[in-house]
Amino acid sequence: METLQFKSHVNNVFVTHRSLSGCPLNAQAIKKGKASEELMTIKLKASGGIESDEEIRHLDEEIKELNESNLKIEADMMKLQTQITSMESNLKTIEEENKLIEQNNESLLRELAGLSQALISSLADIQLPQMHPISTHRGSIFFEAPH
């Protein structure tokens, strides 16, 4: 500090300040230091911003890909839902047809049982040469109605 007090500055005026904070040369050096620190901070922020922009672009691309994937999956799900609905409708139709077939089968079985009984009754009255009359009991052995 003493050396600064006895030396002249650029403007050839002797120094009258007593501390470094009052020294114009020191103030310039401090300003230059702060300026380069601020410049470095700005550069770091700028490069960080570029990285952030790249990260944002990357995230935007990932979001876009996810949205496209979601749309495709939703379309596939809608197709599957349509197929399921169609299959359920077909199954219901088949079940209804099967129910009608079962009802027809039951009706046909009742009709067959009635016809079998009528045939047995008709044959019971027939007398064949050298044979005894066919009884209902014996005829039912040959013509049994399915159960």
Residue at token pair 């064949």: 128
Please tell me the total count of domains within the chain: 1
Evaluate whether residue 147 is within a structural domain: no
User: Is the CB of residue 107 less than 8 Å from the CB of residue 135?
Assistant: no
**139 close to 123: Cβ distance less than 8 angstroms:** yes
Q: What is the model's pLDDT at position 112?
A: 97
Q: pLDDT tier at 71 (50, 70, 90 boundaries)?
A: very high
- Indicate if the pLDDT at residue 73 is higher than 80: yes
pLDDT confidence tier of residue 5, bands split at 50, 70 and 90: very low
Q: How far is CA 137 from CA 41, 58, 80, 113, 143, in A?
A: 115, 93, 61, 15, 10
In a domain, 136, yes or no: yes
pLDDT of residue 69: 96
Examine residue 78 and state whether it is found in any structural domain, yes or no: yes
pLDDT, tens only, 14-29: 455 555 556 665 566 5
Instruction: Please give the average per-residue pLDDT across 80-109, as a whole number.
Output: 98
Instruction: Please tell me the predicted confidence (pLDDT) of residue 7.
Output: 47
**Domain-embedded: residue 124:** yes
Domain enclosing residue 88, as ranges: 2-142
Return the SS3 of 13. Answer: coil
Model confidence pLDDT, tens digit, residues 34-52: 666 766 666 666 565 556 7
